[in-house]
Structure 1
Amino acid sequence: LKRHLKWKSVLREAIFELCIHISNNHLFIGVPLSRIPLSLRAYLQTNALRSTVCDAMLSLANIQEGMFVVDLTCGSSSILMQAAHDLPQKACFFRTDFLRFDAVDRIISDLPFGHRQTYCSKEESANILKRILDIFSRCSIGCEAVLLIAADHLPGVTSQLKGNSRLMAAYPLSLGTTQAALVWLANG
C-alpha cells in the first residue's frame, strides 16, 4: 500500500494509522479513533492486545445473538472487554462450566507466545496450545475457535487437532517485532 500510494511512513510521528488485515476471503480495516494508549482507556485497564486485533478476531468469530463465547486464556480480558464494548446488549457473566455441557459456541483466545512473558516459556506456551486444542475437540459440533498464536506454533496446529476439528484458515499477523497467526478452527 505504501509503495502503491507513494506514501512516506514516519512511524514515530504518524499523523494517521490504518491497520489492514487481508486474506483470500476477508478484508478487515481498522482505524484507531483515538491517540489514547490502550492502557489508558477506561474499559481496557491492563491491556496487552491491540483493539484492532481484538476486532479482527471478533469479526472472524462472527458472534451471533444467543451464542456463548469463552476466552480460555483470559489474562487481561482484552478480547472479552472488547466484545462487551462492541456488543453491550449481548454480554453477561455466567457462573457455570459450559464446556461440561458442550454449550460453547465460540472460543476466542490470545494464547501466550512464550517470548516476553516471565511466567511462560516457549515450551509451556506450546503445551497450552495443545491443551486448548484438546478442549476445543470436546466442544459441540458447530463450535468454532479463533486463536491468536505464535507464528512458530502454526505448523503444529493441524497435527494436534482431534476428531471432527479442522483448520478453516490461518492468517499471518505482525505484532511489532513478534510474528503471530490468527487461526480459525471449526468442529464438525
Structure 2
Amino acid sequence: MAQPVPTTETAHTEVAGEHEATLLGLGAEGWVYVGVTIFLLIAIFVAKAHKKVVEALDAQIAETRRTLDDAASIRKEAEALLASAKTQHEASAKHAAEMIDHARHEAEAIVAKAETDTTDMIARREKMATDKIEAAERAAVEAMRAQTAGAAARAARALIAETHDAGSDRALVDAAIADIGAR
C-alpha cells in the first residue's frame, strides 16, 4: 500500500507533539517561571525593592501629610481672616451708623439754628419796619405841624395886618419890652 505523503501541517503536529524541547528537564514554560522567580528574588534580596517601594510610599504619605497640614493651616488662616473681615465689617457698619447719627444730629442742630436765626431776623425786620413806619408817621406829623404852623402864621399875619396898624404894633412892642424888663 502506498503511504500518504506527509504535509507540513502534519509534520509540525507530529514534531510538536512528540518532541518538546527541554533543558535540564524543564520546558519553555518552566524556564519562564524560573526566570520570573530569579528576577523577584534578585529584586527582593539584592536590590531591596520592597524597601524602596515602602520608602517611596512612606515619602508619598509624608508629602500627603505635609500637604494636608498645610491645607489645615491655610484653612485656619482663612477662618481667622474671615473672622477678622467679619469683625471689621461689623465695626465699619457700626461706625457708619454712628456717622449717620452724628450727621442727623448736626442736621437737626443746623435746622434748629436756622429756625432761631430766621425768627430773630423776622423780629428784627419787623422792628425795623415798625421803626420806619413810626419815623414816617412822626415825619408826616411834623410836616403837618409845619404846614399847619405855616398856615396859622400866614393867617395870623393876614389877620394882624388887617386889624392892627402901626400904632397898635408899637403899644404891643412896648408892652412886650416892659414884660421882659420885669422878669
Greater relative contact order (Cα < 8 A, sep 6+): 1
Q: Which has the higher strand share?
A: 1
Q: Given the two structures, how large is their TM-score scaled by the length of structure 1?
A: 0.13
Q: Which has the higher helix share?
A: 2
Q: Given the two structures, how large is their TM-score scaled by the length of structure 2?
A: 0.13
